[in-house]
A and B are shown apart, each in its own frame.
Chain A
Amino acid sequence: MTREPTTERGRLRVRGFDADATTDVDWSPDRGGRTASRRARAWRRFSGNRTAVAGLVVVVALLVLAVFARPIEVAGVTVQPFALAPYAPATTDVAPASQPPSLAHPFGTDWAGRDVLSRVLYGGRYSLAIGVVAVALGVGVGVPLGAVAGYVGGWVDEAIMRLVDVLYAFPFLVLAIALVAVFGQGFWKLVLALVVVGWISYARLVRGEILRVKEEEYVLASRALGVPDRSILARHVVPNAIAPVVVQATLDVGTVVLSAAALGFLGLGLPPGTAEWGSMLSASRDTLMQGQWWVTVFPGLAIFLFVLSINLVGDGVRDAIDPQGDSRREAR
């Protein structure tokens, strides 16, 4: 065999390596069935996260307690007959007023002789409903506006984003107070106030995500296939931009519950006497000084527990759908 130095290219050639002679090219380890979809893998990651699961358990428990606190009637038909709370939240004088916790009334009674346990359980309905509804509506308004701003660009983008900037410039509480002052009190009015200030963060978030995803090569690939813009937006852009919104929305449920409680505490939330956690705190402000701690502590604890749990869930969701989990595999 010649092994002379050369200036000629391509002079080596391997002979006798016959690729067709391989017999077992498709060897692959037996993994027992198909590999999991994205969603299944996200759920696996989430369920492996202990604090997040603990948070989820607490949130679900509070939800169940709120739903089953008192029977629910729709148009005169009882759809939910259970009553975990021993008394109706508004019934006064079930016992002497301002009793400390006892066996009959584990959370004590307030100034009007109402059972605090029943009120805390039932109050979950208001707080949770406000949190979920206000966030859902905020997402419903913010995501389409942000998506349009990001995808269309130009003056549409300018108009929407300047409105967002203006709303951002108002201190949240002042704006909410002004809105309640204009619209008055009530569940839907409170939700409206929270949505007006809530949607802007989704709009901004989604717009940024859309701008990022728009530059992804798979979007260009769809254009190269001749897919119309509308389908590209719906099939490729929005689904890939939505993950951070899910995380943000989960965390926001907690924030909104806090905001609602804060408004309730300022007396701007639901009508006085409603068994909403924030309003209960507000009503018991003065009695705290007289040593009646139980009237304040239990609704406060409920808010704390719920917000903490929802934050744990939100962080768990973030870790679970973090695309890094998918890309780490590819980095190898």
Chain B
Amino acid sequence: MALLEVTDLDVRFYTEEGVVRAVDGLSYEIERGERLGVVGESGAGKTVAGLAVLGLIDAPGRIEGGEVRFKGEDLLSASDERLREVRGGEIGMVFQDPEEALDPVYTVGEQVAETIRAQTDLAESAIRERAVETLDRVGVPDPRERYGDYPHQFSGGMQQRVVLATALACDPDLLVADEPTTALDVTIEAGILELLDDLADEYDLAVQFVSHDLGVVAETCDRVVVMYAGRAVERAPVEDLYYDPKHPYTAGLMASVPRLGADRDRLPTLPGSMPDLVDVPPGCRFHPRCPFAEEACTKREPPLVDASETAADARADSHQAACLAYTGDLSGDLDFEVEVRE
């Protein structure tokens, strides 16, 4: 049994403009200690997917269907009390902007201690001790002295470490990290990613890593789900995804990333833009932007199917893509490929 199993998750937001189908039939699972990347551009539904795991969808949003099983327990039907226990206890969460995640009127130590207090019956001195330890673990220098400092006395990178400390204080099994380094500078980002790596190895922590940055995902994750317009379009082990993408969207995204040392003046592009989730294109949602689209793509919504070339590859961690090319409904070929410079 996987640590987290999400099946057919369906999240909608009821707005003035209409019903936004933010997440539509999303399924994935995360094993213990595994790092799963959820990749997509803004509006793909990746953040909502992360929030839904923790039951943090607020009005006008609602989870309309599907299952979120954590260690076999259905979180969607769990009581509020149980959910509070899970949040911060067994599942930690890190957001993009550390400045918003920390309360400016409490000391950083108090904020870490608060999570521990909510989840355990430890004595006040033991709670403090554990908070200091956690701050130390995430690389806050002189944690005992800095316990009483306020968030504004920390730099952005240090603030994000404190947020990590609040998420990890109770030794969770799963960390949902939503763009945890996007607001940070590259040199700081490098440090946080290294820390995440170390912590995940050391504590056998599973991570749902939500990001738009293909570079960060390549470095951090074991497996990847690529999302487009609320749906998963490709799932694969990280190496297969980068060296042998199966979905045209993934290929287009990979092509348009600027890479250092690539010796190209002009970047290949992906035409058009992500559709408004109130009104998605019929058939395959990517078809208006897809160079390989055919008549059939405008009619049938492709299911997420196995896309590996040989039957031997069709394992549990198989390579899946949601494209009609893999259901035999396309007359042409997807003739893109990744070239590796020798």
* A contact set with B: CB distance below 8 Å: 1-3, 8-29, 31, 45, 325, 328-329, 332
Contacts and interface: CB of A to CB of B under 8 A. Distances in A.
B268 A17 contact: yes
B251 A3 contact: no
B261 A27 contact: no
B17 A329 contact: yes
Contacts, number: 111
Nearest to A4: B340
Contact of A17 (B239, B255, B263, B276): B255
A28 B279 CA distance: 8
Contact of A9 (B22, B254, B260, B268): B260
Contacts of B243: 1, 3, 12
Contact of A13 (B275, B276, B341): B341
Nearest to A41: B16
Given A12-B254, A328-B15, A332-B20, A17 B336 contact: yes
Interface of B: 13, 15-17, 20, 22, 43, 239, 242-245, 248, 251-252, 254-255, 259-263, 268-272, 275-279, 281, 287-293, 298, 335-342
A15 B336 CA distance: 5
Given A9-B259, A21-B291, A14 B338 contact: yes
Contacts of A11: 261, 340-341
A9 B261 contact: yes
A10 B16 contact: no
A45 B16 contact: yes
Contacts of A1: 243-244, 338, 340
List 5 tightest A-B contacts by C-beta distance, closest first. Answer: A29-B279, A27-B288, A10-B261, A21-B291, A10-B262
13 contacts: A3-B243, A10-B259, A11-B340, A12-B338, A13-B262, A14-B252, A14-B337, A16-B335, A17-B248, A17-B336, A19-B270, A24-B298, A329-B15
A24 B288 contact: yes
Given A10-B260, A332-B43, A22 B251 contact: no
A228 to B, nearest CB: 36
A191 to B, nearest CB: 40
A13 B338 CA distance: 5
Given A21-B291, A25-B289, A26-B272, 12 more contacts: A9-B259, A10-B260, A10-B263, A12-B341, A13-B338, A14-B254, A16-B336, A17-B268, A19-B252, A27-B275, A27-B281, A332-B20
Contacts of A45: 16
DSSP majority for the B interface?
A: loop
Contact of B340 (A2, A22, A27, A329): A2
A214 to B, nearest CB: 24
B245 A14 contact: yes
A25 B287 CA distance: 9
A12 B242 contact: yes
Contacts of A14: 245, 251-252, 254-255, 268, 336-339
A1 B17 CA distance: 48
A22 B288 contact: yes
A211 B159 CA distance: 30
A178 B110 CA distance: 55
A24 B293 contact: yes
Nearest to B264: A13
A19 B270 CA distance: 6
B257 to A, nearest CB: 9
A319 to B, nearest CB: 12
Contact of A19 (B268, B279, B293): B268
Counting chain A CB atoms within 10 Å of each CB, the highest count among B22, B271, B275, B287 belongs to B271
B289 A22 contact: yes
A122 B225 CA distance: 72
A3 B263 CA distance: 21
A22 B272 contact: yes
A88 B261 CA distance: 91
A27 B286 CA distance: 10
B342 A25 contact: no
B285 to A, nearest CB: 10
Nearest to B42: A332
A22 B260 contact: no
Contacts of A12: 242-243, 254, 259, 338-341
